[in-house]
Amino acid sequence: MARLMFALVAERVSVDQFSNILDVHNVIEKLQVPEPPPEVLAKAREAKKPPGMPLRFALLLHWRRSNPSKPEGMVRQRVQLFSPDGAVLSSAEMDFHLRQWPYTRNLIWFNALPISGEGTYTFRVALKAGRQWRRAGETSYELSYQKSETGRKVRLQ
């Protein structure tokens, strides 16, 4: 079964089309964002959905075959983003295979950063093994509020 070699969150990720070299820019380990205004938080509570701050970023997952010389068929992965209090903010599943190459890189792009409070946000990655999900790994980032000047407007979705 495929092994997750690493997972990370970054602002930009690119792969050179000739050399296949991976470039990762601005790895996100800690973020300071403006605190959402009370009216935005109230609206989000009514919608039962955390507010989002416009921010384009990617989750990069690097997978390898368990046995490099043995091709592997279709693999199903699940990625979940957990808030500091343990709530699932986002969840997605996708299939990939390791038939032709001994490794693959999966990129999941986000256009907004969900904000449900200060603390550690964790991406948990799992593989489907039969009917069960098996934990493959995780990565996280810290979020804290930046103290802003009174009356300063901040755009949050």
**Identity of the residue numbered 8:** L
pLDDT digits (tens, 9 = 90+) for 44-91: 888 888 888 899 999 999 999 999 999 998 999 999 999 999 999 999
Is the predicted pLDDT of residue 40 greater than 90, yes or no?
no
| CATH code linked to domain 3-146 | 2.60.40.10
The distance between the two most distant Cα atoms of the chain, rounded to a whole number of Å, is 61
pLDDT digits (tens, 9 = 90+) for 142-156: 999 987 665 555 555
How far apart CA 87 and CA 121 sit, in angstroms, is: 10
What token pair was written down for 113? 């950063």
How far apart CA 124 and CA 7 sit, in angstroms, is: 9
